Chain A
Amino acid sequence: MNIIEYIELVFTDYTLRTITLGTAILGAVTGMLGSFAVLRKQSLLGDAISHAALPGIAIAFLLTGAKDSNVLLLGALVSGLIGTFWIRGIITKTHLKSDTALGLILSLFFGFGMLLLTFIQKQPNANQAGLDKYLFGQAATLVESDVWMMAIVTGICLIILLLFWKEFKMLLFDADFTKTLGFNTKTIDVLITSFIVLAIVLGLQTVGVVLMSAMLLAPAAAARQWTNSLGKMVFLSAIFGALSGVFGTAVSATQNNLSTGPVIVIIASVFVLVSFIFSPSRGLLFKQIRFIKNRRDLKLNKTLAFMYNIAETHEDISHPHTIKILNNFQGFTRGTLQKLVNKNYVTLEGNMWSLTKEGFKAASNLYNHQTEEHE
């Protein structure tokens, strides 16, 4: 199947269209809210919440006996919220640190959820099949109503986000200042945490409990590398999330035996990797290039300063000296010398070098100001 055929299929095939749309919307909303989680240093909260949602699903099923995904997700939402607030309680009221609290709630809730799930499975005549899809997610089980649900939640998130943009932003970067301005930081905090929980719960059906945290983190971590503005970051993160969803669905649909969740996570991780390496301002590649360039500039300046100290002792600054003198100075190489010549700071004649007027001037001002090129 080539790409054009696949794209045609996306628009004509009901299942594929639903899944593609669903994963794209999911990626967008988790990406959007994930930016806040990452910036609030709550990255692993997503992992904890998604695991903590499991007992809620099981209890909702035990209580209602229905497999309606909305009811189950409501249960997940409630237990996710309980988990989140318990984590907060542990961190604020005891001396246990946040990592312990997260790991604790994550594993305890998940274990309890597993107990309930296996308990349900052993129950006679329970139509329990399909509950374990929440463990690893099955995008294939998405139906149109699920996608509508996601779209509505995304819409609400977007509206709330735009309405309270200023408050969210302020709380993110200066919580104390927000408080002094008279905003109710607790409410804003609860609001945003609840939305993060909501987004995670929405994704459980598609990518599952185990991999949900990556959906939240990866697009945001990738987007963070390209911009320093919150607005742009949220936007980019939503795009990255949506693209991971679309590409992930495409890859898993065209291959045999590939579940969608892990593929989406891998694609999102590729986005992160590319961003880490190639982002112009923060990326590792350009950072390394800048680092090497700075080091070269520094060497050049050191050579120039050394020459200046020699030339200073002579009345005529352009008095030629042998290159040999420079051997006392470890930092110099042919390359740096040639570079100085190119810059018109030095002239070379045979084995002799002499400083030009321009070079002398630059060298005397070397430590007084920074020239444009070596910022």
Chain B
Amino acid sequence: MSSAQIEIQLIASIAAIACAIPGTFLVLRKMAMISDAISHSILPGIVIGFFITHDLNSPLLILLAAITGIITVILVEYIQKTGLVKEDTAIGLVFPALFSIGVIMIAKNANDVHLDVDAVLLGELAFAPFDRFIVPDVDLGPKSLWVIGCILIVTIGLLFAFFKELKVSTFDAGLAASLGFSPAIMHYGLMSISSITTVGAFDAVGAILVVALMIAPAATAYLLTNNLKRMLAYAISFGVFSAISGYWVAHWLDASISGSITTMLGLIFLLVYLFAPSRGIIAVLYREKQQRTEVSLLTFLLHLKNHNEEEERHVNHLNEHINWQKVRSKTVLELALKNNMILIENNIVSLTEKGDDFTSQAIDYIITNEDAEIEHMKDDFFLFRG
């Protein structure tokens, strides 16, 4: 591994951490799309900054671009407040307009600006190590490493200083306000950090990857845990893992690094989306199926309890009267049998004592309808779940 390779992986990993922290809060606050808007609308800020400084890594440019990001947020909120359109429409109106202005500004000055829209949007991590930060004769490493490193330190500092405030205002804005934390300061603080991170990272990893690095690790982590600290930790590790593995995939395919990091993020998300223990799609579908069978079972037991006539309790009758398909009635019958809730004699179904007990309690539950009780009850009665 050459030193350039190490530097690239370092930049990507630090960018991943710096993005994952604000990203977690954006996802929790349902403002994920704002990061997409910011990443596009900073373009005019970058272009103006570039006209002035001619250096993509200058602090002035980052400041100007970050201000454009905050202007975007304010504009979106203003349009939303007028009530003329919904919030998402407001976002969708603001950022393409600002982005277009940026593109046109670049196009009109194409001759004296070495700034490429592709590069802004996609970034080129592979070139990051060539732009060195040199203080009189001493090579201090790539400039973008310094930029993103400083941003990360500030972000971590703010996170530790205001963790409690952020937590409260994210989960209970009303409580936070009544405790005296200004929601506006929290909101705009988070927005400013997001803007600055986006700007700081775009040069290295591109605007789209910034969005991916903010949202994807946080969303993936959110599928795995409900604990904020754990969510932050998971998000950071997913980000770093895909940054490093993405680099090697890109190396192997000889393709865009930012693209392959995003793809790795996508793969991780897909895996978690499918297989997460209680929130993954497979677990959810399984649980839904289980619940469907159990509801059917309950209906069936209630039917039995209500009818003493033999013809109503005949096995074949299930098919016609409750209008279940054969397969389903079979599963339900089997489940009921396994749990000792019914007896079948000569194709006539009757409730056992246990089944009777369960059904009465279930009726009570349905009438009083207190939540969570039924799960507890099912645990008591079911040996086998649906």
B33 in the interface (beta carbon within 8 A): yes
B209-234 with Cβ < 8 A to chain A: 209, 211-212, 214-216, 218-219, 222-223
A247 to B37 CA separation, bound complex (whole angstroms): 26
Residue of A115, A210, A211, A217 with most chain B CB atoms under a 10 A cut-off: A115
Q: Which residues of A contact B91 (CB under 8 A)?
A: 43-44
- CB pair A111 B107 closer than 8 Å: no
**A217–B32 touching, CB < 8 Å:** no
B contacts with A, residue count (CB < 8 A): 62
What CA separation (Å) do A211 and B107 show in the bound complex?
A: 16
A47 in contact with B30 (CB, 8 Å) = no
Residues of A within 8 A of B100 (CB): 211, 214, 261-263, 265-266, 269
Residues of B within 8 A of A211 (CB): 96, 99-100
Residue contact A269 to B281, C-beta cutoff 8 Å = no
Contact A259 B107 (CB under 8 A): yes
Whether the Cβ atoms of A210 and B262 lie closer than 8 Å is: no
Chain A residues with CB under 8 Å of B208's CB are 51, 107, 110-111, 114
Of B84, B211, B279, which contacts A103 at CB under 8 A?
B211
Which stretch in A18-26, A92-100, A173-181, A318-326 binds the other chain? A92-100
Given the known inter-chain contacts A107-B208, A114-B262, please indicate yes or no for A258 contacting B36, CB distance below 8 A: no
Known A-B contacts A214-B93, A258-B108; A94 and B122 likewise in contact (beta carbons under 8 Å) = no
Once A108-B266, A112-B263, A115-B263 are accepted as A-B contacts, the answer to whether A99 and B99 lie under 8 Å apart by CB is no
Complexed CA–CA distance, A104 and B266 (Å): 8
Interface string of A251-282 (1 = CB under 8 A from B): 00000011101110110010010001000001
Q: Is the CB of B89 within 8 A of A43?
A: yes
Cα separation A46 to B82 with both chains bound (whole Å):
23
Q: How does the 8 Å CB contact mask read for A189-205 relative to B, with 1 for contact and 0 for none?
A: 00000000000000000
CA distance A209 to B371 in the complex (A): 47
Number of interface residues of A (CB under 8 A): 62
CB pair B32 A103 closer than 8 Å: yes
Kindly specify which of A59-67, A74-82, A156-164, A218-226 makes contact with the partner chain. Answer: A218-226
In the complex, A224→B39 CA distance in Å?
Answer: 28
A311-B91 Cα distance, complex, nearest whole Å: 56
Q: How far is it, in angstroms, between the C-alpha of A263 and the C-alpha of B107 when the chains are bound?
A: 11
Which residues of A lie under 8 Å from residue B79 when comparing CB positions? Answer: 276
Does the CB pair A122–B32 fall under 8 Å?
A: no
Residues in chain B near residue A110, CB distance under 8 A? 208, 212, 262
| Chain A binder among B158-166, B176-184, B250-258 | B250-258
Q: Give the contacting residue for B96; candidates A96, A117, A214, A263; CB below 8 A.
A: A214
A334 within 8 A of B: no
Say if the beta carbon of B149 comes within 8 Å of chain A: no
A–B complex contacts, Cβ < 8 Å, 17 sampled: A38-B86, A43-B89, A43-B91, A99-B30, A106-B36, A111-B212, A111-B263, A113-B259, A116-B255, A122-B254, A135-B118, A136-B103, A210-B40, A210-B121, A217-B89, A261-B100, A269-B93
* B interface residues with partner A (beta carbon < 8 Å): 27, 30-33, 35-36, 40, 79, 82, 84-86, 88-89, 91-93, 96-97, 99-101, 103-104, 107-108, 110, 117-118, 121-122, 208-209, 211-212, 214-216, 218-219, 222-223, 250, 253-256, 258-263, 265-266, 269, 273, 279, 281, 284-285
Q: Which 5 A-B pairs have the closest CB atoms?
A: A111-B262, A115-B259, A214-B96, A114-B259, A107-B212
Known: A132-B118, A224-B84, A262-B107. 8 other contacts (CB 8 A): A93-B285, A96-B223, A107-B36, A111-B261, A111-B265, A117-B259, A119-B253, A217-B96
